[in-house]
Amino acid sequence: MRVGLFVTCLVDMMRPSVGFSTLQLLERAGCEVVVPPTQTCCGQPAWNSGADTHCQDLARKVIDTFLEFDYVVVPSGSCAGMIRNHYPEALKDDHTYHSRALSLAKKTYELTQFLVEIAHATEFSAKYKASACYHDSCSCLRELSVREAPRQLLAKVEGLELKPLKDSDVCCGFGGLFSVKYPEISERMADDKISDAKDTDSSLVIGPDLGCLLHLAGRAARRGETLKFRHIAEVLANCPHPSIGEGT
Amino acid sequence: MTQNPRAFREASKQAVHDPRLKQALGRIKGHFQLARRFASSDFPDFEALRDQGAAIREHSITHLQPLLAEFEKSVTSRGGKVHWARDAAEARQVVIEILKRSGARRVTKGKSMVSEEIGLNDALQAHGIEPIETDLGEYIIQLRHEPPSHIIAPAFHLNKEDVAETFRGAHRNLDPSRDLSERSALVSEARTMLRAAFEGADAGITGANFLTAREGAALIVTNEGNGDLTRLLPRTHIVVTGIEKVVPDLNAASVLLRLLTRSATGQPITSYVSVMSGPHSPELSDGPREFHVVLVDNGRTRLLGTPAQEALRCIRCAACLNHCPIYGAVGGHAYGATYPGPIGAALNPNLLGISQAHHHPNASTFCGRCAEVCPVKIPLPTIMRYWRAREYAAGLPPLSNRAGLGLWAFAAKRPQLYRLITKLASRILKRLSRDGRIHALPLAGGWFAIRDLPEPEGKTFMEQLKSS
C-alpha cells in the first residue's frame, strides 16, 4: 500500500514531531510512505475566506502531487476534510480537475480513521502515563464522522486513562482565521473548553488537529494553566518531544 | 435600541464580557439543547423525518409560484383576502391601510419575526395605532424598547430579575411591595396586563409558521394561547408572513410541525396549534369578521437560483442558534439584525446587503453543529462560505487581509520559495520564544490579543526530513 503523507502546513512549520510520529505510525502499519517534497498547504485559509481562485490553484497542485498514491493520509481532520469534501466543490467547474478531485477525495483519510478502518492497525505499544481527555475536532466529527477511531487507538495506550470530556462535540473556538478575526469570542470558547478539560482532572488534552491544539495551548499558556496538549500521533508513537508549548 | 450589523465586532466584544448576559445564555443548554436531544431521540426515526421535512420544504421553495397562487385562491374562496408586498415598506403600508380602513386604534400582536423584519411596530405607532405584543417574551422586550434576541424566545437574553425590574418600571399600578421573585408571579403580572389588552383590541396581527396552499390556511404554534386570543377576539385579523412559508397542504404541514416543535423547544407538540383559515362563517360563533394575509417577499425571490436558496427552507425553529457556540457566547443583540445566529448569517447578506451584514457569515468557525441539527437540512456553513466568496469577489475585506492572503497563496503555489520562507520563519519564531512560547508579534494582534503562540521546533518538517 503506497501512502502519500500530507503533513500539513501547520505541522511542517510549527510541530514537525507530529509529522515524524505520523510517518512512524504509517510505516509500522505496513504502509510504504512517501512524502512528496513539493507539498505546501491544502488551501483551506483561501477557501474559508471565499478566495476561490487561490484555493482552486492550490487544490490543483495538491491533486497533481498526490493523485498517484493508493491513499493520502493527513494528520488533521480539517485538512483531510478540505480535500475530501471541498475540493470537488471548489473545482466543480473545472472539467479536467473535477473528476481528479473526486478520486483524490475518495482515497484521502484523516490519520486515525486510516489506521483503524483502512490499515486495521491499532497496536502500537504506546505508553503514556497520564490522565487525559480527547478533544474531537469539529472537522473530524462532522466533516469526516471520525469519533470512535481515535478512542479505540487511545484505549490501547498503556498507562493512559482517558476521561470523558463534557460537551466534546462543541467547538474550541479556533476556526482558522476566525481565531484572529474575532479573538474575544474565540477566547470565550477556548476558556470553556479549557475549564471542561480541567473539570475532568486530566493533565493532558489530546487532539487530532494541530490548529485547535496551538490555539488551546496558547490560550492555556496565557492563562497560566499547567494543562498539557499533544497531537494524537505523538501519543501513539511514543514521541519523546516535550508537549506543545513546553519548549524544546 | 438601533440595529447595526456593521458593529458586530464591538458589540460581540462587549457581549462576551457581560456577566448578566452570560448567565442568561448559560440556560441554552438545559433549556434548548437537551430538550431537543431528548425529543429527537424519543422519536422513532428522526433522521428520516428530517429527510422528509427537507424534501417538503425544498419542493415548496422551488414551486413557490403555483403554491402561492393556489393559496390565494383557497383563501379568497373562504372569504379572506391575500395581499402581496414586494418589500418591507409595501408590507407596512398594506397593514396600515387595512387597519385604517377598519378604524383600528389598538392592535394586539402574536409573535412574528416577519413583523420585526419589516419594522411594523414603529410604523404603526407613527400612524397613531398602538401595537401590544402578547407573547410574554415579546411583551417584555416591547416594554424595554429592545428587539428580540432570539427567534423563538425573544427575551432570552434576560434573567427573571431583569424582567421584574422591567415590570416595576413600566406597570404603573404595580404595588411596589409585590413579590416578583418567582417566575409564576411575573407571568401572572403579565397576564393581568394582557387580558385588558385582548379585550380592548380592534385588530389582531399574527405571523404564520406555515401556509397551506390547498386549504388556504395559516398555522401558528404557541404555548401561551396568546395567538388564539389575538386572532379570534378582534374583528380584524391580519396574518403577516413571508412568501416562503407556503407548503402544499395540511399533511405536509403536519410533518413539519413534528420537526418544528421538537427542534425548537423539544416538545412533541406545543400547547396550541392554531389553524386559521378565514373569517368566521355564519355557523360559527366566534372568529374575526375580516381575514387578511399579507405575503411579504422582501428579497426572498432574489435568493432563488443562488447557492443560498436553501436558506428559504427555514422553518424558524432556532435550533441553529441554540447549538451555535458563537450565538451562545454573544447572544442575539450583538448581530444587530432581526435574524441572529447561523440562519441570520445565511439570510442577512441578502436581506441587508453583504456590505452591511458581512460579519455574520464570517462569525463562524464552520464547526457545523448548526447544519447537524437543522430540521430541514439547510447546509448553513456552505451558505455562509458562499457569502464570504461574494464578499471577497466584491473586494470588501480590508486590503491588508486580501494582500496577506494573496502573498501567502503566491508562496504556497511555489514550493521552493515556500520552503525558504517557512525555514526562515521557523527559525525567527524559535528565536523569539521565551519559556516555550511567543508572547507577541507585530501584525498578529488578533492571535496575541488573547493567547500566546507555542514555540516551534525551529526547523521545519521538510528540512528535518531532508537531513535525516
Average pLDDT value over all residues in chain B: 96
Q: Determine how many CB atoms are found less than 10 A away from the CB of residue A169.
A: 15
Q: Is B102 exposed, middle or buried (0-12, 13-18, 19+ CB in 10 A)?
A: middle
Report d(CA A153, CA A124) in Å as an integer.
Answer: 9
Per cent of chain B over pLDDT 90 is 95
Q: Give how far B152 is from chain A: nearest CA, Å.
A: 22
Residues 45-104 of B with CB under 8 A from A: none
> Is residue B22's pLDDT more than 80?
yes
Across the beta sheet with A71-74, what order do the strands follow? A32-34, A2-5, A71-74, A108-110
For testing the chain B interface, which of A20, A48, A61, A136 should be mutated: the one with the most B CBs within 10 Å? A48
Q: How many CB atoms within 10 Å of residue B130?
A: 16
pLDDT at B284 over 80: no
Taking residues B214-225, what's their average pLDDT? Answer: 96
**Which residues make Cβ contacts (< 8 Å) with residue B395, sequence separation at least 6?**
B402
Chain-chain contact of A185 with B12 (C-beta, under 8 angstroms): yes
B428-432 mean pLDDT: 96
pLDDT single digits (tens) B415-424: 999 999 999 9
Chain A interface includes B406 (CB < 8 A): yes
Identity of the residue numbered A8: T
Q: What is the pLDDT of residues B163-194, one digit of tens each?
A: 999 999 999 888 989 999 999 999 999 999 99
Residues 232-271 of B with CB under 8 A from A: none
| Domain boundaries defined on chain B | 43-298, 400-467
A84/B contact by beta carbon, under 8 A: no
With left for phi above 0 and alpha for psi between -120 and 50, is residue B215 left, alpha or beta? alpha
Q: What is the pLDDT of residues B30-87, one digit of tens each?
A: 999 999 999 999 999 999 999 999 999 999 999 999 999 999 999 999 999 999 999 9
Interface A-B: count of C-beta contacts within 8 A: 198
Tell the residue number behind the cell numbers 502515563, with chain if given: A129
Nearest to B368 among A12, A43, A142 (CB): A142
A228 neighbors A246 (Cβ within 8 angstroms):
yes
pLDDT per residue, tens digit, chain A (248 aa), is 999 999 999 999 999 999 999 999 999 999 999 999 999 999 999 999 999 999 999 999 999 999 999 999 999 999 999 999 999 999 999 999 999 999 999 999 999 999 999 999 999 999 999 999 999 999 999 999 999 999 999 999 999 999 999 999 999 999 999 999 999 999 999 999 999 999 999 999 999 999 999 999 999 999 999 999 999 999 999 999 999 999 76
ipTM of the prediction: 0.97
pLDDT tens digit sequence for B81-111: 999 999 999 999 999 999 999 999 999 999 9
From residue A98, alpha-carbon distances to A94, A102, B409 in Å are 6, 6, 21
Strands of A127-134's sheet in order across = A158-163, A127-134, A204-207, A228-231
Q: Is A7 on the interface with B (CB under 8 A)?
A: yes
Given pLDDT bands bounded at 50, 70 and 90, which one contains residue B2?
A: confident
Residues of A in contact with B389 (CB under 8 A): 50-52
Residue A218 CA to residue A227 CA, distance in Å, equals 11
pLDDT beyond 70 at B1: no
CA A205 to each of CA A135, A193, A219, A232, B183: distance values in angstroms, whole numbers, following the listed order = 7, 10, 13, 9, 41
> What phi and psi, each to the nearest 5 degrees, are found at residue B139?
-60, -45
**According to the model, what pLDDT value does residue A169 have?**
96
**CA–CA separation, B228 vs B206, rounded Å?**
9
| Other CB atoms within 10 Å distance of the CB of residue B68 | 20
- Identify whether the C-beta of residue B269 lies closer than 8 Å to the C-beta of residue B254: no
pLDDT tens-digit series, residues B288-325: 999 999 999 999 999 999 999 999 999 999 999 999 99
What kind of fold does domain B43-298 have according to CATH? Rossmann fold (3.40.50)
Structural contact between residues B249 and B67, judged by C-beta atoms closer than 8 angstroms: no
Distance CA B445, CA B453 (A): 12
Q: Do B454 and A19 touch (CB under 8 A)?
A: no
* Confidence at residue B283, expressed as pLDDT on a 0 to 100 scale: 80
Q: How far is CA B331 from CA A185, B26, B35, in A?
A: 11, 10, 19
pLDDT, tens only, B358-386: 999 999 999 999 999 999 999 999 999 99
Answer yes or no: are the C-beta atoms of A186 and A215 closer than 8 Å. yes
A143 vs B: CB within 8 A? yes
> Nearest C-alpha of chain A: how many angstroms from B58?
21
Positive or negative, the CA dihedral A10, A15, A16, A22 is negative
CB burial class (10 A; 0-12, 13-18, 19+) of residue B375? buried
Q: How high is the pLDDT of residue A156?
A: 98
Chain A from 99 to 128: CB within 8 A of any B CB? none
Residue A22 φ/ψ, nearest 5 degrees: -65, -45
CA distances from B196 to A6, B132, B187, B272, B287 (A): 69, 11, 15, 21, 19
Q: DSSP per residue over chain A, as a string?
A: -EEEE---HHHHHH-HHHHHHHHHHHHHTT-EEE--TT----SHHHHHTT-HHHHHHHHHHHHHHHTTSSEEEES-HHHHHIIIIIHHHHTTT-HHHHHHHHHHHHHEEEHHHIIIIIS-------EEEEEEEE---HIIIIIS--SHHHHHHHHTSEEEEEEPPTTTTS--S-TTTHHHHSHHHHHHHHHHHHHHHHHTT-SEEEES-HHHHHHHHHHHHHHT---EEEEHHHHHTT--SPPTTS--
Chain A positions touching B407 (Cβ under 8 A) are none
Q: Give me the residues of B, 110-139, that contact A with CB < 8 A.
A: none
How would you write chain B as a 3-class SS string? CCCCHHHHHHHHHHHHCCHHHHHHHCCHHHHHHHHHHHHHHHCCCHHHHHHHHHHHHHHHHHCHHHHHHHHHHHHHHCCCEEEEECCHHHHHHHHHHHHHHCCCCEEEECCCHHHHHCCHHHHHHHCCCEEEECCHHHHHHHHCCCCCCCCCCCCCCCCHHHHHHHHHHHCCCCCCCCCCCCHHHHHHHHHHHHHHHHHHCCEEEECCCEEECCCCEEEEEECCCHHHHHHHCCCEEEEEEEHHHEECCHHHHHHHHHHHHHHHCCCCCCCEEEEECCCCCCCCCCCCCEEEEEEECCCHHHHCCCCCHHHHHCCCCCHHHHCCHHHHHHCCHHHCCCCCHHHHHHHHHHHCCHHHHCHHHHCCCCCCHHHHHCCCCCCHHHHHHHHHHHHHHCCCCCHHHHHHHHHHHHHHCCHHHHHHHHHHHHHHHHHHCECCEECCCCCCHHHHCCCCEECCCCCCHHHHHHHC
CB of A206 less than 8 A from some CB of B: no
CB distance B363–A182 less than 8 Å?
yes
Q: Does B458 touch chain A (CB under 8 A)?
A: yes
Closest C-alpha to B363, from A171, A168, A80, A54:
A171
